[in-house]
């Protein structure tokens, strides 16, 4: 189930129209890519406006591989992790698999290679919303809730330790 | 693939980076903010107020500004509650701010929790003015109702704007009313018109109705007052200031009333109060009094008499009373005067006039009544004589006595169940009888019968009416019965008629109708007079009747009045003297015997007569005795008189008992006359005895001859006859004496026969032969 805050942030993200992956007609992909960016920009702006900025993302030139950082603030401390993922060939029918490589092996809710286990709801929801959902939605529906649930748990277990100076980055 | 597209992607990617890199605004959480602000407020570094949902702060300056804005938006009128909810702040905060605002801005008013700006009032006043121009009048109370604002505030505000925004003026009496000059003038004109047209008193209410509810009462009265004081209309408003009871009375009407009253009074001499009331004069008496202050007015129930008419009436009454002796007041007065008024008026008129009797409206001089009565007096003795001789009166007296006896018996036998009223009546009767009756019961009877007579008379009256009803009498029955009832307040029909009637009322009426002065009198008057007179006449007649009866009875039954007794006594004493003289013709034993006989016979008669006289004189009744006489010389003499043995003592005592004869009466008791009188009576007796009793004849004849020869009288019994005859021997001729002697012998022999055989013949002989011869002697002697 998607919580209230997620739903709200989701509703702020513009929906996409073009159904095209990197292997499809480059014209269409380009179009898709533009829409992805616009949605992301809007999402980030929304987050910033709500004082809720929690990630940085950038992509390669073709827009097929994405990487960046995401963070979680707890007890006035900021825990920051690298995030990366590729656009699958069947995109947008298949959702991208978001991965936090440095947390690989530290939690059960993760696949090999640091790919996070998304909730049961995510996939049907995504499937239902093809091609309207894009990267921004995946971040908001997938990674956001996962971080909010898993990180405090891991901090409690001591699997994740606050690294001095990360703030300055 | 166009590079432009890629360029665009690049640019978007750059935008994205830039968007991510722009520093996120360092937002504080709400909680933090609230804490910070609270802290600041605590430190008095910040002056803000919460909104009512607690999510916002607002500075007072902003609030004031917002209040002003709100006020403006709402057209200058806004309630504090609405303001508070609109501004999202609590009411108390708003109130505090408003208080500040009011201090700063004098053009804003707080009225009953509403903020009102001068602009709003101005607008309202402009509307008001428009309405005023349209309707002419505006009521603030109405305005207060529609605008939902307190009247005082409105009044205050409107007064400020009078003459500027509002072109009208406030009513002086009612500050709630505002009207324009035009309105007032228009209504003044209308009222003036109406009031000028009114000619009779009209309730203000009705006038106001004509205006509908357009003209307020106060304004109306104000205008009317003004019109009256400026003499624009003539009239007055009476009956208080409220329209319910007030009347407008135009002076034209008052003038008309006055004119009518004066005209009527001058023309007719009186004013009918009813007519005056019809003219709408509520208190005619005081009205008329005011109108004629110099006149002496006479107020009756239905009218007012002027001085002139009153005097005229009085003069006429006085005049008529002197010349025909009666007057009908109704003939002098206006027709509308009622009976009650007549009574008042007559009291007034007759105040100075005496000797009058009043019948309804007719005044009769008493002297006339007396005169009429006199007319009947001469008739009374005749009628009395007739009534007595016919035995009616005796019958009546006996009846009355019997009835009274019955009544007494009944009374004695009556138990107390009898109704009190009757008993009372009887008691009264008894009492009055005792009081007025004196010693004799008869008086009581006459008193009692008087009433009964009236009763009977009334019966008579109605009877005659039944028998032969004269039409006019039937018409005037009420009048006559009134008169009769005035004369006799009680009339008991059940009583037996116990008085003899002198003349019936009808008869009296016919009799008096012939009188000259009553020739023009109406029938009613005649009847009334007849009623009145006949009562008096009846009383008088009873007296006359009684006198006549007494006289009759005394003649018949020896009942004597005192004077008669005295007269008889004088006569007897004179006769006694004659007898005594007669005694002197005898001597010796015969004289003594004759003396004793005289005292026993005639002497005792005198004693009885003297006793009766003395008792009468002493006021005692017939049944009392000499012993009841008051002590004194007379009583002693009287007692001695009866016992005196010889003539001298008897005559001596008699002189003390019998009063001396009056000089004037002396001739009546002349011895000579008495002698002749008693001789006459003897002669009569002689005539009677001639045929029946020869002895008595001889006795009387001898007595007559004695008186003829000796000029004296003799009282002697039959046994003295021989002595008398012998004493006559010297005085008669021899023949005469012989005849007497013979007669004496014959009589003696006749007595001796004692109705035996031959007695009849002897008597026959005596009466046919001897007695006539003796009679001859006497007649010769008498001549």
DSSP string, B188-243: HHHHHHHHHH--S-EEHHHHHHHTTTSS-HHHHHHHHHHHHHTTSS-EEEES-SST
SS3 string of B649-664?
HHHHHHHHHCCCCCHH
Domain-embedded: residue A87: yes
Q: Which residues of A106-136 are buried (b: 16+ CB within 10 A; e: fewer)?
A: bbeebeeebbbebbeebeebbeebebbbbbb
Show residues of chain A in contact with B19, CB under 8 Å: 41, 44-45, 48
Cα–Cα dist B313/B308, whole Å: 8
> Nearest Cα to B20, choosing from A79, A143, A54, A134?
A54
Cα–Cα dist B530/B369, whole Å: 9
Please state the ipTM of this predicted complex.
Answer: 0.73
- List the 28-47 stretch of B: residues with Cβ below 8 A of A: 29
H/E segment holding residue B138: strand B137-139
The residue of chain A with its CA nearest to that of B13 is A37
Which of B12, B17, B27 lies closest to A34 in CB terms? B12
Distance from CA of B47 to the nearest CA of A (A): 28
Show residues of chain B in contact with A48, CB under 8 Å: 19, 22, 24-25
Domain-embedded: residue A125: yes
To probe the interface with B, which of A30, A32, A49, A64 has the most B CB atoms within 10 Å? A30
pTM score, two decimals?
0.33
Residues of chain B with pLDDT under 70: 1-3, 23-29, 54, 171-174, 212-214, 216, 240-244, 280, 282, 323-325, 329-339, 350-361, 411-502, 513-521, 552-562, 619-627, 660-669, 755-756, 783
pLDDT of residue B273: 73
> Nearest Cα to B322, choosing from B359, B360, B354?
B354
Q: Does B3 touch chain A (CB under 8 A)?
A: no
To probe the interface with A, which of B2, B19, B31, B33 has the most A CB atoms within 10 Å? B19
Domain that holds residue A138: 4-157
Distance from CA of A2 to the nearest CA of B (A): 23
Domain-embedded: residue A108: yes
pLDDT of residue B38: 81
Task: Enter the tokens of residue A51.
Answer: 């004082």
Cα–Cα dist B624/B319, whole Å: 61
Cα–Cα dist B448/A140, whole Å: 149
Sequence-distant (≥ 6) Cβ neighbours of residue B69 within 8 angstroms: none
Show residues of chain A in contact with B27, CB under 8 Å: 50-51
To probe the interface with B, which of A34, A134, A135 has the most B CB atoms within 10 Å? A34
Cβ of B19 within 8 Å of Cβ of A45? The answer is: yes
Q: Does B14 touch chain A (CB under 8 A)?
A: no
Q: Does B412 touch chain A (CB under 8 A)?
A: no
> Nearest Cα to B110, choosing from B123, B122, B96, B124?
B96
Asked if A120 and A20 touch (Cβ cutoff 8 Å), the reply is no
Asked if B433 and B443 touch (Cβ cutoff 8 Å), the reply is yes
Distance from CA of B18 to the nearest CA of A (A): 9
CATH 3.20.20.70 given to domain B120-250: no
Cβ of A26 within 8 Å of Cβ of B1? The answer is: yes
Cα–Cα dist B196/B394, whole Å: 90
Count of structural domains within chain A: 1
| Positive or negative torsion for Cα B422, B424, B428, B431 | positive
> Nearest Cα to B371, choosing from B470, B511, B492?
B511
- Render each residue's pLDDT in chain A as its tens digit; 169 residues: 556 777 777 778 888 888 888 887 888 888 888 888 888 888 888 888 777 788 888 888 888 888 888 888 887 788 888 888 888 888 888 888 888 888 887 887 888 777 887 777 788 888 888 888 888 888 888 888 888 888 888 888 887 777 765 544 4
A117 among known catalytic residues: yes
Q: Does B7 touch chain A (CB under 8 A)?
A: no
Sequence-distant (≥ 6) Cβ neighbours of residue B363 within 8 angstroms: B317, B321, B326, B327, B329, B346, B350, B353, B356, B357
Asked if A21 and A92 touch (Cβ cutoff 8 Å), the reply is yes
The residue of chain B with its CA nearest to that of A50 is B27
Domain-embedded: residue A166: no
Asked if B714 and B678 touch (Cβ cutoff 8 Å), the reply is no
Query: How do residues B585-637 score in pLDDT, each as one tens digit?
Result: 787 788 888 888 888 888 888 888 777 777 777 766 556 666 677 777 777 77
CA B368 to chain centre: 26
Domain-embedded: residue A81: yes
Domain-embedded: residue A132: yes
């Amino acid at each position: 189930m998607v919580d209230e805050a997620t739903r709200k942030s989701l509703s702020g993200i513009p929906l996409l129209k073009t159904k095209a992956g990197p292997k499809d007609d480059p014209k269409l992909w380009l179009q898709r890519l533009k829409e992805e960016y616009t949605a992301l920009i809007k999402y980030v702006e929304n987050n910033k406006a709500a004082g809720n900025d929690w990630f940085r993302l950038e992509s390669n030139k073709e827009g097929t591989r994405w990487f960046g950082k995401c963070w979680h603030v707890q007890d006035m401390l900021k825990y920051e992790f690298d995030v990366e993922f590729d656009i699958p060939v069947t995109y947008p029918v298949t959702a991208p698999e978001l991965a936090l490589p440095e947390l690989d092996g530290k939690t059960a809710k993760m696949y090999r290679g640091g790919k996070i286990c998304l909730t049961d709801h995510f996939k049907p929801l995504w499937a239902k919303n093809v091609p309207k959902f894009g990267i921004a939605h995946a971040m908001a529906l997938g990674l956001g809730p996962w971080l909010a649930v898993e990180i405090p748990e891991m901090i409690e277990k001591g699997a994740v330790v606050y690294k001095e100076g990360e703030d300055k980055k | 693939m166009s590079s432009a597209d890629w360029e665009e992607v690049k640019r978007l990617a750059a935008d994205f980076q830039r968007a991510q890199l722009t520093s996120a605004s360092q937002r504080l959480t709400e909680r933090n903010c609230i804490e910070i602000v609270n802290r600041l407020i605590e430190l008095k570094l910040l002056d803000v107020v919460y909104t009512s949902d607690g999510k916002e702060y607002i500075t007072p300056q902003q609030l004031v500004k917002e209040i002003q804005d709100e006020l403006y938006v709402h057209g200058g009128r806004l309630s504090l509650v609405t303001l508070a909810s609109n501004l999202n702040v609590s009411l108390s905060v708003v109130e505090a701010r408003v208080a500040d605002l009011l201090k700063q801005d004098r053009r804003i008013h707080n009225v009953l929790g509403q903020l009102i700006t001068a602009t709003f009032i101005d607008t309202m006043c402009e509307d008001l003015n428009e309405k005023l121009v349209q309707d002419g009048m505006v009521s603030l109370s109405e305005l207060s109702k529609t605008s939902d604002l307190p009247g005082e505030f409105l009044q205050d505000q409107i007064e400020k704007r009078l003459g500027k925004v509002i072109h009208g003026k406030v009513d002086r009496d009612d500050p709630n009313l505002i009207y324009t000059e035009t309105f007032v003038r228009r209504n003044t004109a209308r009222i003036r018109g109406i009031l000028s047209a009114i000619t009779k008193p009209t309730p203000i209410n009705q006038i106001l109705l004509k205006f509908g509810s357009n003209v307020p009462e106060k304004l109306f009265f104000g205008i009317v007052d003004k019109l009256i004081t400026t003499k624009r209309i003539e009239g007055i408003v009476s009956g208080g200031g409220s329209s319910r009871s007030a009347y407008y009375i135009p002076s034209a009407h008052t003038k008309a009333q006055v004119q009518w009253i004066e005209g009527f009074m001058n023309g007719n001499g009186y004013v009918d109060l009813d007519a005056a009331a019809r003219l709408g004069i509520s208190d005619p008496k005081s009205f008329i009094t005011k109108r004629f202050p110099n006149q002496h007015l006479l107020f009756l129930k239905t009218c007012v008499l002027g001085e002139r008419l009153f005097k005229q009436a009085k003069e006429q009454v006085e005049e008529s009373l002197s010349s025909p002796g009666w007057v009908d007041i109704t003939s002098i007065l206006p027709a509308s005067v009622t009976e009650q008024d007549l009574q008042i008026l007559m009291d007034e008129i007759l105040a100075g006039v005496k000797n009058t009797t009043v019948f309804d409206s007719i005044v009769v001089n008493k002297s006339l009544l007396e005169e009429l009565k006199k007319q009947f007096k001469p008739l009374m003795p005749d009628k009395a004589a007739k009534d007595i001789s016919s035995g009616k009166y005796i019958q009546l007296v006996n009846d009355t006595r019997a009835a009274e006896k019955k009544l007494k018996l009944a009374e004695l036998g009556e138990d107390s169940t009898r109704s009190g009223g009757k008993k009372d009546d009887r008691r009264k009767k008894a009492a009055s009888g005792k009081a007025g009756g004196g010693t004799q019961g008869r008086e009581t009877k006459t008193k009692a019968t008087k009433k009964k007579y009236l009763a009977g008379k009334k019966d008579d009256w109605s009877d005659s009416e039944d028998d032969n009803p004269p039409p006019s009498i039937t018409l005037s029955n009420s009048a006559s019965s009134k008169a009769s009832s005035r004369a006799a307040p009680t009339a008991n029909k059940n009583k037996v008629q116990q008085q003899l009637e002198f003349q019936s009322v009808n008869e009296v009426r016919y009799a008096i109708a012939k009188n000259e002065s009553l020739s023009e009198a109406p029938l009613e008057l005649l009847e009334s007079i007849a009623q009145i007179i006949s009562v008096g006449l009846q009383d008088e007649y009873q007296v006359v009747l009684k006198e006549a009866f007494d006289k009759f009875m005394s003649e018949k039954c020896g009942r004597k009045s005192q004077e008669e007794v005295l007269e008889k006594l004088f006569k007897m004493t004179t006769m006694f003297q004659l007898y005594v003289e007669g005694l002197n013709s005898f001597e010796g034993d015969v004289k003594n015997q004759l003396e004793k006989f005289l005292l026993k016979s005639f002497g005792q008669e005198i004693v009885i007569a003297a006793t009766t006289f003395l008792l009468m004189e002493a006021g005692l009744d017939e049944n009392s005795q000499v012993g009841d006489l008051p002590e004194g010389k007379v009583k002693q003499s009287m007692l001695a008189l009866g016992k005196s043995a010889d003539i001298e003592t008897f005559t001596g005592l008699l002189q003390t008992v019998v009063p001396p004869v009056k000089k004037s009466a002396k001739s009546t008791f002349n011895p000579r006359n008495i002698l002749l009188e008693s001789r006459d009576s003897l002669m009569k007796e002689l005539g009677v005895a001639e045929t029946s009793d020869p002895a008595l004849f001889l006795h009387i004849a001898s007595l007559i001859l004695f008186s003829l020869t000796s000029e004296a009288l003799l009282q002697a019994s039959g046994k003295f006859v021989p002595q008398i005859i012998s004493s006559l021997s010297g005085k008669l001729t021899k023949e005469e004496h012989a005849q007497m002697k013979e007669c004496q012998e014959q009589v003696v022999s006749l007595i001796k026969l004692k109705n035996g055989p031959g007695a009849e013949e002897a008597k026959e002989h005596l009466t046919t032969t001897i007695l006539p011869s003796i009679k001859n002697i006497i007649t010769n002697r008498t001549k």
